[in-house]
A and B are shown apart, each in its own frame.
Chain A
Amino acid sequence: MYTASDLRKGLKIQIDGEPYLVTEFDFSKPGKGQALYRTKMRNMITGVQFTQTYRSNDKFDRPNLEERNMQFLYAQDNEYHFMDTVSFEQIFLTKEQLGDNLSFLVDNMEVQVLFFGERPIDVTLPTFVNLEVTVADPWAKGDTSGTDTKPVTVQTGFQLQVPPFVEQGDRIQIDTRTGTYITRVKE
């Protein structure tokens, strides 16, 4: 059990049987008054946000959350199938659950899948992934007049800005937290 005094930004708690992430937190206590724990929370399954004020005697269950190493196998319709790299158990998440992660997800990628009980609810990608550039304008060597970057498209369909020397067919490293170019990789 957590009590209100455990609340802080980033804490995960369970309310009405669902897991919530505390996204904002403020402690206040008027002189001679009660402690008030003002929080903003996001439902980790539905993404719905809400604000709530708690008092010292409020208590919360710890959600049963577990991360497992899994490998992305294939997508079929709206379902993205993953396999546990230890038990070989297979599960799927929907396109909506994956959200922006789809910009960087490719076959055989190893990811962390977050389970709430038996239910997969979220995916954490590796911080850096290597992807192939599928569309890029050619680099006119010696062109010093141009801008510092140019747009390219990678194999997942994601578009980003890269230095002008990056060409179609190159593999580049991308930071999945920000979606920004890190470096060109030689393989």
Chain B
Amino acid sequence: MLTLQGLQQRSALLQAIRSFFFTSGYLEVDTPLRLPVLLPEANLVPFASEDWYLQTSPELCMKRLLARGCEQIFQICHCFRKEESGRIHQPEFTMLEWYHRGWGYFDLMRECEALLGSLCRSVPQLPGLDSEGRICWRDCRVALDPPWERLSVAAAFRRYAGVEVDEVLGNGGFDEVLVTAVEPQLGREQPVFLYDYPLELGSLARQNPHNPQVAERFELYIGGVELANGFSELVDPCEQRQRFALEIERLRDGGQAAAMPEKFLADLALIGPTAGIALGLDRLLMLLMGSATLAETLPFVFAEL
């Protein structure tokens, strides 16, 4: 829960984020939170709202706006994910999501570097930064000067866990190795972009034309905290339909309802090459404001309501 001073800081950071995107030519959008159909993602559980759902991310509506001709859009909105609660999880949280047509995932990495640099310069006296401008979180001191490290998933699993990605994908241990052995080592001294995920772990991301085993997806890590997830977007409706079919099958196996988002697929054909990214805004504020948990950066957490 935030004090008055915390609320002022949160407000200053939100304002600085908006100025960064306005200055970079983005249009701010605000799309509906309540939707009749969601993009099928196997490991997300939505909250039902009568016959509809609260969004788990704004991706569906934002991509449909790209189809209407928007070139660069950003949104700051609330997302809802059932059963997610922990030190850095809340069932309702704030997402910063943006899309840039004509870009690929490496362009977004550079923009992340610029965004953080801009926030740290424009908001004075952030409690999470030391005198040298490094983010201090837990036992990490993270210098933000670009360029940040780019590390492929395959290289990270070899370096920090001594295993091949195929091996742990085969025995269902990918997530556990990632969480226990790899993530804690990521972004300790400078932020890290973990990139090129196994294709089945990026159902909305484009297949890498040079390495068909992987999707053009990356995650940004600072101090072991997963902060943002970006893609070169998959914009081929046929391929997207096939990938969604697999997700829907996994959702139904788990006893969840799921439907093919037909209007989304119809619009997808109109988008062209695009990159998009979703950043957990509360987590970023947690790091910049020097809070130990997500709850400390929020006006309210669900347990207080």
Contacts and interface: CB of A to CB of B under 8 A. Distances in A.
Interface string A20-61: 000000111111111110100000000000000100110000
A123 to B, nearest CB: 32
B86 A26 contact: yes
Nearest to B81: A29
Contacts of A34: 43, 175
Interface of B: 41, 43, 83-87, 89, 174-176, 178-180, 183, 197, 201-203, 219, 226, 229, 254
Nearest to B89: A27
B176 A53 contact: yes
A27 B183 contact: no
Given A35-B43, A36-B176, A53-B176, A30 B84 contact: no
A34 B89 CA distance: 13
Nearest to B200: A32
A29 B176 contact: no
Nearest to A32: B201
20 contacts: A27-B87, A28-B86, A28-B179, A30-B178, A31-B219, A32-B43, A32-B197, A32-B202, A32-B203, A32-B229, A33-B174, A33-B175, A33-B178, A34-B175, A35-B43, A35-B83, A36-B175, A38-B179, A53-B176, A56-B83
Given A27-B87, A28-B179, 5 more contacts: A5-B83, A29-B84, A32-B229, A33-B174, A35-B84
A31 B178 CA distance: 10
Most chain A beta-carbon neighbours within 10 Å: one of B43, B203, B226: B43
Interface residues of A, number: 16
Given A28-B179, A53-B176, A57-B254, A33 B201 contact: yes
Nearest to A27: B86
Main secondary structure of the interface of B (DSSP, over half): mixed
Main secondary structure of the interface of A (DSSP, over half): loop
Most chain A beta-carbon neighbours within 10 Å: one of B85, B178, B179, B229: B179
Contacts of B87: 26-27
Given A28-B179, A53-B176, A57-B254, A33 B43 contact: yes
A161 to B, nearest CB: 34
Most chain A beta-carbon neighbours within 10 Å: one of B86, B87, B174, B226: B86
B41 A32 contact: yes
A27 B202 CA distance: 22
B85 A27 contact: yes
Contacts of A31: 219, 226, 229
A26 B176 CA distance: 13
Most chain B beta-carbon neighbours within 10 Å: one of A26, A28, A34: A28
A57 B43 CA distance: 12
A51 to B, nearest CB: 10
A26 B174 CA distance: 18
Given A33-B43, A33-B174, A57-B254, A27 B179 contact: no
Contacts of A32: 41, 43, 197, 201-203, 229
A57 B85 CA distance: 16
A36 B179 contact: yes
Top 4 closest pairs, chain A to chain B, by CB: A27-B86, A33-B175, A31-B229, A5-B83
